[in-house]
Amino acid sequence: MADDFDLSENGVNHQKPENDEDVMTTAQGVAVADDQNWLKAGARGPQLLEDHIAREKIFHFDHERIPERVVHARGYGVHGEFELTDPIPELTRAGVLGGEKGKKTPVFTRFSTVAGNKGSPDLARDVRGFAVKFYTEEGNWDIVGNNIPVFFIQDAIKFPDLIHAVKPAPDRGFPQAQSAHDNFWDFVTLTPESMHMVMWQMSDRTIPRSLRFMEGFGIHTFRLINADGKSSFVKFHWKPKQGLQSVVWNEALKINGADPDFHRRDMWNSIDAGDYPQWDLGVQVFDEEFAEKFEFDVLDSTKIIPEEQVPVRIIGTMTLNNNVDNFFAETEQVAFCTQNIVPGIDFTDDPLLQGRNFSYLDTQLKRLGGPNFTHIPINAPRCPVRHFQQDGHMAMTNPKGRANYEPNSWGTGDGKEEDRGPRACPMNGFTSYEAPVTGPKLRTRSETFADHYSQARQFYISQTPTEQTHMANAFVFELSKVERMDIRKRMVGHLRHVDASFAQEVSDGLGLDELPPKVPLAREPRTDLPESPALSILKNGPGSFKGRKLGIYIAEGADAKVVQALQDAAKDAGAMVGIIAPNVAGAKLSDGKKLEANEKIDGGPSVMFDAVAIVMAKDTATTMAKDKPSQDFVSDAFAHAKFIAYVPEVMPLFEAVSVGEKMDDGFFDVSGDTGAKDFIEACGKLRFWDRAPVKQD
């Protein structure tokens, strides 16, 4: 409102506070009279250093950045809650998992990419971090995982090498947020243990459609300890209730150009609209006997335990229902540590996990400036905290009383019980599982970790032909960016141990004259592992259009009834709708009413939507047929195997991009009474994959 401002003589607007609570202050709480002008000696004179208000403001601005994470720098955090639906007290004494049915625990979840910096795009081909902080009544518990259940390396000592290899080359500072370069493929082709993870990385798992539509995994084998001290092994799984979904590579490239914040915006808008994403927390629980008989070492983080062998038991549901109030204070300052566990949960001797436990605490010290990062609200436990740790950088609270050490004899009859401080509690406190430990000191790798290809093959044969084609294309694309021929050939030599036809397909795609030789083996891989349907995205889709987004491209004279029918059908299915028009002001429909657009056509390409509809009058469709963004909207939707709704009047636009003669069962004429409903029902399949080329056996 204009009357909210005072216009001073020099033309600077000063917005008036509505009440005392709106008065601006310094960090010391002193009210500010003028936030527009530095104190000067005369109206045109030099600035004065005595202006403590300006000095404080600039001082804080100069120091408002902290070191970004070395990995997982680009992240997005959301608040929510975890509800326990199937308690497991027989397996763990942790209240968050073994308490009463219906028990709710606050959580904060941060999703991220791994390789890129904070300013990199969301749709880079990359592993996604999936970290959850539970604010339990017994302390904070962090599941610090990824959207892929295995990792590149088996021992944490190789983590710096892995990250150095995938990050921008130190001499030139590029490429950014991608693995399609010599250093990365040089490293992994010299590290055979990476082969299983590389297969996942080249799958569509690393280009998810949304953070809402991907799985999460704790990766490592942990222990659950019950009240009697009995131990069970466990792996943690997050399964999206919305189903799995990814984009195709060409879409990812175009989305990064159209909206590099695509994943962030999608999550914010979904929660803001009340469409809260949910994941079921599942556990794979097994004992020592199974671990001894299993084909691979359960301590090897490059291996999974197929769900067909150990089913995932669903024990609770996480609902993310609250966007952050401040990105920096929460998402940027949140500190996850694999070492954060509560009584009833314990570690195993997984060498990658052991190294992460050492590393993460040191990381937080570097990023957040000192040992008191747990005083920051997003990291602070929601349960009482009592200890003798004191002082340090940015201490918010210090222990009360005279004693800052333990044991002490204060409170033993002197009438000053408050001075004694806390004491350890053997009955309820955290105790480690008494696993026997023996053996000489060695720098070695267990022989049980030596098979690097069997599960890589199992992952490949578990994919649909469409997914296998995408994987081959991904390998060809990435290796085509590698300049050294010997590295390309070495990778194909690894793939020959995974699947012969797949290796040949990649070799042909690279234009190699002959199939490179197989690389030497540490152990002969198995070829008898069965398919695991749980490893496929397309076999685990949602089966509905709920939570997805329909893009409706309209122009002047569009049939108002058809547009309304599409909106209603999408809403009934629990989907969102975006209106696209030649101008963002929208278009006047056939009923004479103007429908405002969400996007102008060149700012709302079809790659931003899960399915599209084009509704126009014939004359406007003829005009749009000459418009390049409109042509791209249709041709990209067709190329990306999307379901396409249309009215017959838009045929001039289809014919302009040679789609008219290629129309298939993925096209729906929605001019009839049930057309919109039939279209949205078909969209539950998400893609019309029959339109996409696949590998031929």
Provide the residue type at 123 as one letter: L
Task: List beta partners, residue 240.
Answer: 279
Residue ranges covered by each domain of the chain: 2-62, 75-150+214-375, 544-691
Give percent above pLDDT 70 in the chain: 96
DSSP helix/strand/coil, 345: strand
Helix (H) or strand (E) holding 54: helix 52-62
pLDDT at 2: 43
- Chain segment 289-347, per-residue pLDDT in tens: 999 999 999 999 999 999 999 999 999 999 999 999 999 999 999 999 999 999 999 99
Q: Which of 140, 146, 256, 379 is catalytic?
A: 146
Q: Output the pLDDT for position 692.
A: 85
Q: Is 75-150+214-375 CATH 2.40.180.10? A: yes
* pLDDT, tens digit (0-9, with 9 covering 90-100), for 40-71: 999 999 999 999 999 999 988 898 889 999 99
Q: What is the pTM of this model?
A: 0.94
Q: Which of 362, 684, 683 is nearest to 543 (CA)?
A: 684
Residue whose structure tokens are 């990792």 = 151
Q: Give, in order, the Cα–Cα distances in Å from 83 to each of 89, 313, 316, 444.
A: 15, 15, 5, 43
pLDDT of residue 1: 39
Query: 260-292, pLDDT tens digit by residue?
Result: 999 999 999 999 999 999 999 999 999 999 999
CATH (residue range 2-62): 4.10.91.20
Task: Tell me what pLDDT residue 154 has.
Answer: 97
Query: What single DSSP character describes residue 47?
Result: B
Q: Which two tokens stand for residue 612?
A: 């599209």
The tens digit of pLDDT for each residue in 137-182 reads: 999 999 999 999 999 999 999 999 999 999 999 999 999 999 999 9
Q: What is the pLDDT of residues 499-532, one digit of tens each?
A: 999 999 999 999 999 999 999 999 999 999 999 9
Q: Name the active-site residue from 10, 19, 72, 323.
A: 72
Say how many Å lie between the first and final Cα of the chain, rounded.
68
Beta carbons within 8 Å of 356's beta carbon, 6+ residues apart: 144, 156, 338
Burial of 361 (0-12, 13-18, 19+ CB in 10 A): middle
Q: What is the mean pLDDT of the chain?
A: 94
222 pLDDT exceeds 60? yes
Residue type, 366: K
Judge residue 691's burial from the number of C-beta atoms within 10 Å of its C-beta, 0-12 exposed, 13-18 middle, 19 or more buried: middle
Per-residue pLDDT of 447-458, as tens digits, reads 999 999 999 999
Alpha helices, H only, 482-540: 485-495, 500-510
146 is catalytic: yes
* Residue 291 structure tokens: 């671990």
pLDDT tens, residue by residue, 487-503: 999 999 999 999 999 99
* CATH superfamily membership of 544-691: Class I glutamine amidotransferase (GATase) domain (3.40.50.880)
pLDDT in tens, 649-681: 999 999 999 999 999 999 999 999 999 999 999
Specify the pLDDT at position 508. 98
For the chain, what percent of residues have pLDDT higher than 90?
Answer: 86
pLDDT score at 412: 67
Instruction: Please report the DSSP string for 247-306 in residue order.
Output: --HHHHHHHHHH-TTHHHHHHHHHHHTT---EEEEEEEEE-HHHHHHSSS-TT-TT----
CB 435 within 8 A of CB 424: no
Flag whether pLDDT at 413 surpasses 70. no
Alpha helices by DSSP H, listed for 114-248, are 159-166, 182-189, 195-201
Spatial CA neighbour of 665 closest among 636, 687, 647: 687
